[in-house]
Amino acid sequence: MSLTIGVDVSSLHFYRSGGRQMAETVPDLSLVPQPLWQEAERRALVLRPLAALRACPREQARAAAVALGVSERQVYRLLRRCREGGGTLTALVSSGSDGGRGKRRIEERRDALIRDAVAELYLTPQRLSAERIVVEVRRRARDQHVRPPSASTVRRRIAALSQEERRRRGDMEVPEAVLGSIVTAKAPLDVVQIDHTPVDLILVDPIERRPIGRPWVTVAIDVFSRCIAGFLITLEAPSATSVGLCLAHVASDKRVWLDAIGVDADWPVMGRPRCIGVDNAAEFHSEALERGCAQHDITIDWRPLGRPQVGGIVERVIGTLMELVHGLPGTTFSNVMQRGRYDSDKAACLTLAELERWLAVAIAKLYHLRPHAGLDGEAPLRRYQEGVRALAADGRTPPTPRDPRAFLIDFLPVVRRTLRRDGVVIDHIQYFSDALKPWIERDGPPRRILIRRDPRDLSRIYIHDPDDGGYLEVGYRELSRPPVSLWEHRLARSRLRRQRQSDIDEGVLFAAIEEMREIEVQARTTTRTTRRNQARRLGLRVIPEPEPRLSEPASLCPVRAVENTASSEPFDVEEW
């Protein structure tokens, strides 16, 4: 997907939770120790509802103090931090061990012994007892010549485990409604279901127009209105990153993105989901996704195993999208029987960017405006707009991230690199900003820094500042370089390897990307002329080819008639 950011990349930018500087350092989500994260989750469960009130009654503050084991004054202090942080979880993370009440006094090596033993032996289906964990921690401490922690310390750590961790171990029977149920929603973005599927279409690369295989689509649908809240098209297999980027698309204002890809349409759905319904795939259980959702107060509702009907809403809309895709050249159809003798590779002609535009038009100009059987014939967009008006009448709006860019950063993949005199190098690309000079000039060994980057736009990276807790937005060292995606970058490196280019540096890499883009432009302008000339040489009558009309996805390419078209889809197809 495209990402357009109109900011001077040479300047320094800080992104913090809620867009305001906190009194305490805000750590990157991946750096918060698990015990501190669990304590912040416990605090958030009690304090977020109180922070949403205009004023917290003293009786409720007292009850919260008892529940959290802190003073009433500390409750009001935490509420202030929660409001200033926009409700993010890191606003409630303890600042660290200083010997005070409720702080960790155990040193890091001993703490790591407990964490590792609990993760490897306790949180498993084998269900080892707490006593066995205590014995194992003591054994490991002796082997590493570390003073063993007390049995009570180990038992307290086990008792502090979250419900989700205990559910994975099998300790507790969680009521079915917690894991998933037939979902209902009372307002826009109350519940958003997310799922992936390989698209029934062979794509071609934009350079040589050769088949490159099937992409994946991640779709998010608003249960209340049946509007598609966001999607992501990628050639990478599903991961926590693809889920995070899809969530960022859900939360963002889509006008900038639609303008960037050249689609004139209205797609007003935007905001932070209160709950996401997902299946039990590994990417939905990743620590990165769980922490990102907890940070922004998004509940994850995992479907119960063996109950696919719980996710039927998103499954049906994906089935609908695939039905439309079956009308495009290069479709693989749903199965071999449907495909028959149709040569998908030979017919393929769409690139990833063209498919993204096609889907945007299909969703915004067709699906959202058609009567929907699940809404008693009402159009999804109209239902969404009515829901927003109903919220406005109550003085509310769909929840939105206070800082959309900070929201995006929290879901981006992490890389770690060493800071050098000339900046940072990632995949042969140099990044530098004057804001890095104070770090570079510090005495001592080179610093290992944490970086987040958006795979859709490598022109800038976000470097975590451990002193401040914010992120430095740093651009290319050579500002004249064009923005490129990670996929385009990998394609260029692969092309250079095929040309037996052994020394790949930044100049060679971007020269290859520029050459590929020139070939792509030439291919777009010459493909139609080439086909017409071939027809003339064969003595065929040349029929002028109309320009493709992206505003009518269903009529782009008629489906070729095939035999045995009975579908074996597990869900009905949505009506458009």
The answer to whether 178 touches 162, Cβ cutoff 8 Å, is no
Residue 147, CA distances (Å) to 111, 137, 150, 157, 566 in order: 11, 10, 9, 17, 68
Cα(99)–Cα(97) distance, integer angstroms: 6
Q: What is the pLDDT of residue 552?
A: 45
More confident residue, 106 or 414: 414
pLDDT above 80 for 507: no
Average pLDDT of span 220-236 = 92
Q: What is the pLDDT of residue 532?
A: 45
pLDDT above 90 for 152: no
pLDDT above 80 for 217: yes
Q: What is the pLDDT of residue 228?
A: 95
Q: What is the pLDDT of residue 273?
A: 93
Q: How many CA atoms lie within 13 A of 79 on its CB side?
A: 25
Q: How many CA atoms lie within 13 A of 397 on its CB side?
A: 8
Burial of 498 (0-12, 13-18, 19+ CB in 10 A): exposed
Residue 268, CA distances (Å) to 3, 95, 249, 358, 509 in order: 18, 39, 12, 18, 39
Average pLDDT of span 188-207 = 89
- φ/ψ region of 572 (left if φ > 0, alpha if ψ in -120 to 50, else beta) reads beta
Least confident of 250-254, 287-291, 310-314, 550-554: 550-554
Question: Which tokens is 537 given?
Answer: 């040489």
Question: Which tokens is 95 given?
Answer: 């600042």
Q: What is the pLDDT of residue 503?
A: 63
Q: What are phi and psi of 15, to 5 degrees?
A: -120, 120
Tell me which H or E stretch contains 487. helix 486-498
Residue 233 DSSP class: E
Average pLDDT of span 135-139 = 86
**End-to-end CA, the chain:** 24
What pLDDT, in 10s, does the model give residues 408-425?
A: 888 888 888 988 888 899
pLDDT above 70 for 202: yes
**Residues contacting 463, CB < 8 A, separation 6+:** 424, 436, 449, 450, 451, 471, 472, 474
Cα(180)–Cα(299) distance, integer angstroms: 12
3-state helix, strand, coil in the chain (%, to 5): 45, 10, 45
The answer to whether 380 touches 225, Cβ cutoff 8 Å, is yes
Cα(102)–Cα(98) distance, integer angstroms: 10
Q: What is the pLDDT of residue 147?
A: 84
Q: Is 376 helix (H, G, I), strand (E, B) or coil?
A: coil
Q: What is the pLDDT of residue 373?
A: 84
Q: Is 26 helix (H, G, I), strand (E, B) or coil?
A: coil
Angle between helical axes of 108-117 and 130-143 (0-180°, round to 10):
130
Return the number of other C-beta atoms located less than 10 Å from residue 173's C-beta.
7
The answer to whether 106 touches 113, Cβ cutoff 8 Å, is no
* pLDDT > 90 in the chain, percent: 15
Q: What is the mean pLDDT of the chain?
A: 76
Q: What is the pLDDT of residue 496?
A: 74
Q: What is the pLDDT of residue 174?
A: 41
Cα(391)–Cα(401) distance, integer angstroms: 17
Amino acid found at 110: R
More confident residue, 342 or 8: 342
Average pLDDT of span 105-116 = 76
Tell me which H or E stretch contains 490. helix 486-498
Q: Is 542 helix (H, G, I), strand (E, B) or coil?
A: coil
H, E, C per residue of 50-119: HHCCCCCCHHHHHHHHHHHCCCHHHHHHHHHHHHHCCCCHHHHCCCCCCCCCCCCCCCHHHHHHHHHHHH
Amino acid found at 556: L
Residue 455 DSSP class: T
Least confident of 40-49, 108-117, 233-242, 342-351: 108-117
Tell me which H or E stretch contains 231. strand 228-234
Sign of the CA dihedral with 219 first, then 223, 228, and 229 last: negative
Residue 24 DSSP class: S
What pLDDT, in 10s, does the model give residues 363-375?
A: 998 899 988 888 8
Alpha-carbon torsion angle 53, 55, 58, 61, nearest 10: 40
Highest mean pLDDT among 101-105, 477-481, 561-565: 477-481
Amino acid found at 219: V
What pLDDT, in 10s, does the model give residues 288-314?
A: 888 888 888 898 888 776 555 555 788
What pLDDT, in 10s, does the model give residues 416-468?
A: 898 888 889 988 888 999 888 888 887 677 788 899 998 888 889 999 887 77
Q: What is the pLDDT of residue 536?
A: 40
pLDDT above 80 for 521: no
Burial of 442 (0-12, 13-18, 19+ CB in 10 A): exposed
Q: What is the pLDDT of residue 191?
A: 92
> Is residue 561 very low, low, confident or very high in pLDDT (cuts 50, 70, 90)?
very low
State pTM to two decimals: 0.67
Cα(228)–Cα(194) distance, integer angstroms: 10
Furthest-apart CA pair in the chain: how many Å? 90
Return the number of other C-beta atoms located less than 10 Å from residue 298's C-beta.
19
> Is residue 563 very low, low, confident or very high in pLDDT (cuts 50, 70, 90)?
very low
pLDDT above 80 for 573: no
Cα(313)–Cα(316) distance, integer angstroms: 5
Q: Is 225 helix (H, G, I), strand (E, B) or coil?
A: coil
> Is residue 320 very low, low, confident or very high in pLDDT (cuts 50, 70, 90)?
confident
